Structure 1
Amino acid sequence: MKKILFIASTLSHIENFHIPYLKRFKDLGHSVHVMGKLNNKSEILYADKIISVPFEKSMFSLKNFYLSLKIAKIINKNNYDIIIIHTSLAAFFARLGIILCLKKPRLVVNTVHGYLFDYNSSFFKKHIMILAEKLTKCVTNVIIVMNSSDYDIAKKYKLYKDNLYLINGMGIDPDSFPSISSKCKVALRNSHNFSEKDFILIYVAEFSKRKNQKFLINSMNKLISEGFSNIKLLFLGDGQFLDELKLYTQSLSINDNVFFAGYTKDTCTYYQMSDICVSSSRIEGLPFNIMEAMSVGLPIVASKVKGHIDLVIPNENGFLFNYNNIDEFCSYIKNIYKSTDLQYRMHIKSIELSKKYSLDSVLSNTVRIILNEYDLHL
């Protein structure tokens, strides 16, 4: 039996994305511990032990550096065989802790959900982030990335000791995001006060600077001014800029076309009653919102940035627009809006492409990589 530790900046991250992985390791007979900032729940399924580490959301927090010492003590005490790290902040400070350990684990895996920089980032930000990765490379046996851009970054700067792998995300459950008939779609719309004639764009994301929702609101203002008054924009999520963007929408007098549904776990219902999934993000890992929308069968119109370019094949399951280019974005929306043939073709292609991101396929492959790497380090 191996003792395995999962680390993330928040335990809610583990709860939202990694429960199937905890279960698989438990089913294989291993002991599983989880570490991160506590969420509202005190229990996480399949975790033998929950370790509270109150990370602060800052790479420059002195408290986080102190927490690295605490992490080192915990690891020394528990004598882990494998440590699997998620989220950029936790990855840095946890690996600092591992550097300080007397009893280092046999295998450390850094699972990169998306480096917070790319080749277009500012010189300062990019090099600070790369320096942080290089400082902790000495205890990073394996890096697992989720998009081709991050693979190129990790390989170019050799941010790992032994091996580098590219996987298709953490996996989505296609049964939880099925396509539905036109009749069911109309019924869903009626139950949520939308019309059959509405053409709905959906964006599921936290309201943050990186997710760039203001761009979509400005794009809607342009589309409405051009006469496309039945195009509606539906936001799901909460976050720092939610209230500010509600007020901004009111200032443009487009409240009848932009809707803020708030945070919900029932995203599938909203995908199913929509026509296009959109994303205006500055940078991504391999976004669940787009994979889930593809499984439902939505065309995708997304910014041409890392993470998106791995999921969207232009003119097949959607379009990619240059970041912050409103004219290009609106042009693609109008192309899909005007062509039922294009909508159907992209619907079929999205479903087809989504299958390679299924949980069954991705989970088995990722667990196999980790256990094979452990065997190599015996």
Structure 2
Amino acid sequence: MKKILHLTISSEIGGGPEHIFQLMSGMPLEFESHIACPERGSYYGKFLKITSNRVVLLPHRKFSISYLISAYNYIKTNKIDLLHGHGKGAGFYCRLLSIFIRIPVVHTPHGINQKIEIGLINKIYIQFERLFSFLINAIVYVSKTEFEYAQQLKIWSNIPGHIINNGTKVILADQKSEWRAEKREQMNWTLEKVIITASRFDFQKNTIEFCKIADKLPEFTFVILGEGEEKSHCEFFCKTTGISNVLFVGNVPDPLNYFAAADVYLSTARWEGLSMAILESMAVGLPVVATKVIGNIDLVKSGETGFLYTIGDINEAVKYLLSVFEDVNYLNFSENTKNFHRISFSSESMCRKTESLYIDVLNSKSKN
């Protein structure tokens, strides 16, 4: 049995933690999952359960020498065979740990900021990745466009890169119908057309644009799942501009139920790796209108599964939302979306490809 330690500096609701949870849930018994993660956040309890308490703590979105030492001791005590870092911060911990403990490292960036070339801190980060990429044995890109952007930036170009699309569970039609009926009754959505998104309310998710689009379509109900620093700003914007059709739901334990009850998923993100929320919405047959950015480009086939719009172009987004809701178009979009997800973005496929990568990296390391 090989022991895999996943590292993340966020246990809050989001695509990264959900990706890790899906991976650990789908790994065969030959791999024993461990995790280094913060105690803060709803995924901490899920991680405890799925790993049978094989957890070592990391701080939330910051670096700490004491936590690094704790992770080092955990790795030595539990004889971990491979480190898998998820995101920028966890990748930094992995690099440092690999200097002192010679075990292989797999790194998944989970999205690269499209403005990463701008600003001194970002430029320092790029140089760090170029200089210390030799400490990584393999990179996992969660989308083709993420891989292409990394190549453009000339980071991680000297180590093996693997495109393994994010994946989520395939949802059966009967299950979707049951969730939809229950949630729409609970929310009192009888005849409403519901447009939904999930957000951390940060710069990346660009949620204020979601609110501006809602302002142009007062006949629709716009729903936002999630919490974050900019939530109060969005609420204040809606209140002061008289936008009354945006519902701020907060964090929920059952986002799939809300997606099943909605009609369209709208992403206003400035960039993505490969959005788990979009994938989950596709699994229940929601057409997607999304910004034309890294990650979203891989998921949305314009005119087939939804539309891509130019970020900041509110009128274009409105036009595409109205187009999706045309009766004949909607049924086609919904069916195309479910089929595209099932064929290309299932969690089963993601786990099998990741399993194969782990085996290759471990075998390669044993030969050296």
When normalised by structure 1's length, the TM-score is 0.85
Quick one: which of 212, 215, 218 aligns to 2:212?
Answer: 218
2:164 matches 1:167: yes
Quick one: which of 286, 296, 299 aligns to 1:298?
Answer: 286
Rate the CA distance shift 1:23–1:201 in 2: closer, same or farther, 3 A.
closer
Rate the CA distance shift 1:141–1:21 in 2: closer, same or farther, 3 A.
same
In 1, the alpha carbon distance for the partners of 2:122 and 2:249 equals: 35
1:289 shift after superposition: 0.9
In 1, the alpha carbon distance for the partners of 2:357 and 2:128 equals: 25
Answer with 1 or 2: which has the greater Rg: 1
Rate the CA distance shift 1:371–1:292 in 2: closer, same or farther, 3 A.
same
Quick one: which of 233, 239, 245 aligns to 2:222?
Answer: 233
Please tell me whether the aligned partners of residues 146 and 167 of structure 1 are also in contact (alpha carbons under 8 angstroms): yes
Rate the CA distance shift 1:124–1:340 in 2: closer, same or farther, 3 A.
farther
Greater shift in the superposed pair: 363-372 or 240-249: 240-249
Greater shift in the superposed pair: 18-27 or 208-217: 18-27
One-letter amino acid of the structure 2 residue matched with residue 343 of structure 1? Y
2:333 equivalent in structure 1:
346
2:94 equivalent in structure 1:
94
1:247 shift after superposition: 2.2
2:150 equivalent in structure 1:
154
One-letter amino acid of the structure 1 residue matched with residue 233 of structure 2? E
1:72 shift after superposition: 4.6
One-letter amino acid of the structure 2 residue matched with residue 96 of structure 1? L
One-letter amino acid of the structure 1 residue matched with residue 251 of structure 2? Y
2:9 matches 1:9: yes
In 2, the alpha carbon distance for the partners of 1:166 and 1:127 equals: 25
One-letter amino acid of the structure 2 residue matched with residue 110 of structure 1? H
Rate the CA distance shift 1:192–1:143 in 2: closer, same or farther, 3 A.
same
1:43 equivalent in structure 2:
48
Greater shift in the superposed pair: 64-73 or 347-356: 64-73
1:119 shift after superposition: 6.2
2:275 equivalent in structure 1:
287
Residues 146-183 of structure 1: per-residue CA shift (max 9 Å, x gap): 112221233341516541100111x21113787745x9
Residues 70-110 of structure 1: per-residue CA shift (max 9 Å, x gap): 545554555532111112111113312322x0x311x2100
1:104 equivalent in structure 2:
102
Residues 14-51 of structure 1: per-residue CA shift (max 9 Å, x gap): 864334533555611x4443212224648342356321
Please tell me whether the aligned partners of residues 65 and 93 of structure 1 are also in contact (alpha carbons under 8 angstroms): no
Greater shift in the superposed pair: 204-213 or 118-127: 118-127
When normalised by structure 2's length, the TM-score is 0.87
Residues 269-304 of structure 1: per-residue CA shift (max 9 Å, x gap): 221221110010111111011111111111110011
2:188 equivalent in structure 1:
193
One-letter amino acid of the structure 2 residue matched with residue 22 of structure 1? M
Please tell me whether the aligned partners of residues 106 and 140 of structure 2 are also in contact (alpha carbons under 8 angstroms): yes
Please tell me whether the aligned partners of residues 322 and 328 of structure 1 are also in contact (alpha carbons under 8 angstroms): yes
Q: CA RMSD in A?
A: 2.7
Please tell me whether the aligned partners of residues 76 and 104 of structure 1 are also in contact (alpha carbons under 8 angstroms): no
1:223 shift after superposition: 2.8
1:326 shift after superposition: 0.8
Rate the CA distance shift 1:348–1:308 in 2: closer, same or farther, 3 A.
same
2:20 equivalent in structure 1:
18
Please tell me whether the aligned partners of residues 295 and 354 of structure 1 are also in contact (alpha carbons under 8 angstroms): yes
Please tell me whether the aligned partners of residues 147 and 166 of structure 1 are also in contact (alpha carbons under 8 angstroms): yes
Greater shift in the superposed pair: 18-27 or 304-313: 18-27
Rate the CA distance shift 1:130–1:187 in 2: closer, same or farther, 3 A.
same
In 2, the alpha carbon distance for the partners of 1:6 and 1:223 equals: 43
In 1, the alpha carbon distance for the partners of 2:264 and 2:312 equals: 18
Which structure 1 residue ranges, 5 or more long, are not aligned? 225-229
Please tell me whether the aligned partners of residues 198 and 277 of structure 2 are also in contact (alpha carbons under 8 angstroms): yes
In 2, the alpha carbon distance for the partners of 1:241 and 1:158 equals: 31
2:80 equivalent in structure 1:
80
In 2, the alpha carbon distance for the partners of 1:375 and 1:231 equals: 54
Please tell me whether the aligned partners of residues 180 and 296 of structure 1 are also in contact (alpha carbons under 8 angstroms): yes
Q: Name the SS of the counterpart of 1:309 in structure 2.
A: helix
Greater RCO between the two (CA within 8 Å, min separation 6)? 2
1:185 shift after superposition: 4.7
One-letter amino acid of the structure 2 residue matched with residue 201 of structure 1? I
Rate the CA distance shift 1:22–1:293 in 2: closer, same or farther, 3 A.
closer
2:140 matches 1:144: yes
Rate the CA distance shift 1:120–1:336 in 2: closer, same or farther, 3 A.
farther
Please tell me whether the aligned partners of residues 68 and 94 of structure 1 are also in contact (alpha carbons under 8 angstroms): no
Which structure 2 residue ranges, 5 or more long, are not aligned? none
One-letter amino acid of the structure 2 residue matched with residue 295 of structure 1? A
Rate the CA distance shift 1:177–1:47 in 2: closer, same or farther, 3 A.
farther
Please tell me whether the aligned partners of residues 3 and 32 of structure 1 are also in contact (alpha carbons under 8 angstroms): yes
Quick one: which of 238, 249, 252 aligns to 2:241?
Answer: 252
Rate the CA distance shift 1:136–1:75 in 2: closer, same or farther, 3 A.
farther
